[in-house]
Amino acid sequence: MRFPFAIAALALLASCRGPTTLPEQYLRDLPADRPIAPEVAERARNQAEAALAAVDAGRFEEGRSLAEDALASNPRLAIARVAIARCLIKDAQREVPPTLALWRHAEGELLIAQRLAPERPEVHLARAEFFAVEGHLSAAAESLEQGLSRAPNDVRLVREGARLRYELGEERAAGALLVRWLAEVPTDTKALWMLAQVRAKLAASRDRDKAPERQKAYREAADSFHRYAELVPTDGEGWLGEAWARSALGGREAETAVKLYELAEGLIERSPEPSFGKAVTLEALGRAPEAREAYRRALGRDDRHVGSLLNLAASLGKGDAKEKSEAKVLCRRLLDLRITAAERQRIEKFLATPP
């Protein structure tokens, strides 16, 4: 079962005529436990599993029919309730806004399923899907957490939980789940990319005073980008990410970063970012002439790239009269671009200095 998390909240306005049943009311009619012949129970369980498989494959009518047959034999089959609920969600979305009666019925079926089989991952996955479609991502996350508390090794719960935490911008939680996901599927490039992004954000947010932790965070980010880039070598973004992380590590890692930026330059031909990153790294290594050349290369790709204009102007402003004159030309271009008040103030002060 897979579902997108980045879905806008639905306007669940009543598009039906007359009153609707509240989801909680479905629990009042919870089917009683009753003896069922073993062969009937087995057949119903198989039908319920087949119903959910059909719904997963997009065969909703087949899934609905199988689920209804299963519930006719055993109304306490949670998986059949899940299949019915997902069919109802599909039906409700055929109208805009969705049909409220169907939507509430779907939620009611999921509440029954959770009451009957709280240990089944499929129940929590379906409830998370329901909340995600509504736009209630926090509720979807809670549902997945409930599932993981009962089935901590279920790869589906781990995978969807990781995606959701990533979508919510909860880097630490997402990172922990992504590591677990990749332990099961180590070559999943989407998971590797998400983990690299998460670790990059965590590294950038580390306190500068905590050098060992910060270095460890950048190294983990670099390793994650590298693992991704090895699997997708034609995606320059992977090499660019690794270059950024290794540049932050400094020393020999920064020398490696320069080569990675050059690799990214060849793969991302229109973007100024690889050349800009290379220039910043070269400047940190004390190789100012090469850095200036890289800034100019970045500006050749985007003559309005603020970072390159600012840094090149700052570098030239330390040179001789000719270089300072070139720096002022760059500064005048910057005044027409979106820069901060502090940057504008520094530029105007520099332009006011005598030649």
Asked whether residue 292 falls in the same domain as residue 207, the answer is yes
User: What is the number of helices (H) and of strands (E) in the chain?
Assistant: 17, 0
Report the distance separating Cα 319 and Cα 112, nearest Å.
75
pLDDT at position 267: 97
Asked whether residue 314 falls in the same domain as residue 296, the answer is no
Do the beta carbons of residue 70 and residue 80 sit within 8 Å? yes
Q: Which of 150, 177, 198 is the C-terminal boundary of a domain?
A: 150
What range does the domain containing 213 cover? 189-302
pLDDT of 1 > 90? The answer is no
**Mean pLDDT on 10-20:** 44
pLDDT of 239 > 60? The answer is yes
pLDDT of 8 > 80? The answer is no
Asked whether residue 204 falls in the same domain as residue 343, the answer is no
Identify the weakest region by mean pLDDT among 76-80, 151-155, 211-215, 222-226. 211-215
pLDDT at position 6: 40
Task: Name which residue leads in pLDDT, 128 or 14.
Answer: 128
Q: How confident is the model at residue 22 (pLDDT cuts 50, 70, 90)?
A: confident
Asked whether residue 13 falls in the same domain as residue 86, the answer is yes
156 within domain boundaries: no
**Mean pLDDT on 284-312:** 97
Q: Which of 261, 281, 302 is the C-terminal boundary of a domain?
A: 302
CA 41 to chain centre: 41
The pair of three-digit structure tokens given for residue 7, joined into one six-digit string: 């879905």
159 within domain boundaries: no
**Mean pLDDT on 303-317:** 97
pLDDT at position 39: 96
**Mean pLDDT on 232-244:** 97
Query: What one-character-per-residue DSSP string does 157-176 give?
Result: HHHHHHHHHHHTT-HHHHHH
Do the beta carbons of residue 197 and residue 191 sit within 8 Å? no
pLDDT at position 29: 74
pLDDT at position 44: 97
The pair of three-digit structure tokens given for residue 32, joined into one six-digit string: 């009683």
Q: How confident is the model at residue 15 (pLDDT cuts 50, 70, 90)?
A: very low
pLDDT at position 354: 85
Asked whether residue 237 falls in the same domain as residue 284, the answer is yes
What does DSSP assign to residue 286?
A: T
Collapsing DSSP to helix, strand or coil, 17 comes out as coil
The string of pLDDT tens digits covering residues 110-124 is 999 999 999 999 999
pLDDT of 9 > 80? The answer is no
Q: Is 270 exposed, middle or buried (0-12, 13-18, 19+ CB in 10 A)?
A: exposed
The string of pLDDT tens digits covering residues 259-292 is 999 999 999 989 999 999 999 999 999 999 999 9
166 within domain boundaries: no
Q: Distance of CA 112 to CAs 28, 152, 156, 257, Å?
A: 9, 22, 21, 55
Do the beta carbons of residue 196 and residue 224 sit within 8 Å? yes
The string of pLDDT tens digits covering residues 332-352 is 999 999 999 999 999 999 999
**CB hemisphere CA count around 89 (13 angstroms):** 24
175 within domain boundaries: no
Asked whether residue 120 falls in the same domain as residue 23, the answer is yes
Return the number of other C-beta atoms located less than 10 Å from residue 134's C-beta.
Answer: 19
**CB hemisphere CA count around 164 (13 angstroms):** 25
pLDDT of 32 > 90? The answer is no
pLDDT of 7 > 50? The answer is no
Asked whether residue 351 falls in the same domain as residue 278, the answer is no
162 within domain boundaries: no
Overall domain count for the chain: 3
In one letter, which amino acid is 111? L
Asked whether residue 244 falls in the same domain as residue 257, the answer is yes
**Mean pLDDT on 177-202:** 96
Q: Which of 208, 274, 220, 213 is nearest to 246 (CA)?
A: 220
Asked whether residue 329 falls in the same domain as residue 225, the answer is no
**Mean pLDDT on 141-159:** 94
Q: Which of 206, 213, 243, 248 is nearest to 226 (CA)?
A: 243
Asked whether residue 1 falls in the same domain as residue 80, the answer is yes
Per the document, the length of the chain is: 355
Report the distance separating Cα 190 and Cα 147, nearest Å.
23
174 within domain boundaries: no
pLDDT of 27 > 80? The answer is no
Q: How confident is the model at residue 10 (pLDDT cuts 50, 70, 90)?
A: very low
Identify the weakest region by mean pLDDT among 13-17, 72-76, 222-226. 13-17
The pair of three-digit structure tokens given for residue 209, joined into one six-digit string: 């005073």
pLDDT of 3 > 50? The answer is no
Asked whether residue 136 falls in the same domain as residue 208, the answer is no
pLDDT of 11 > 70? The answer is no
Q: Provide the CATH number for the domain around residue 209.
A: 1.25.40.10
Q: For every residue of 247-269, which 3-state class applies, written as one string?
A: HHHCCHHHHHHHHHHHHHHHHCC
Query: Which residue reads 């689920």 in tokens?
Result: 67
Q: Which of 131, 150, 169 is the C-terminal boundary of a domain?
A: 150
Report the distance separating Cα 263 and Cα 79, nearest Å.
51
222 within domain boundaries: yes
Do the beta carbons of residue 339 and residue 332 sit within 8 Å? no
Asked whether residue 223 falls in the same domain as residue 311, the answer is no
Q: Where are the beta strands (DSSP E) in 170-286?
A: none
169 within domain boundaries: no
pLDDT at position 2: 46
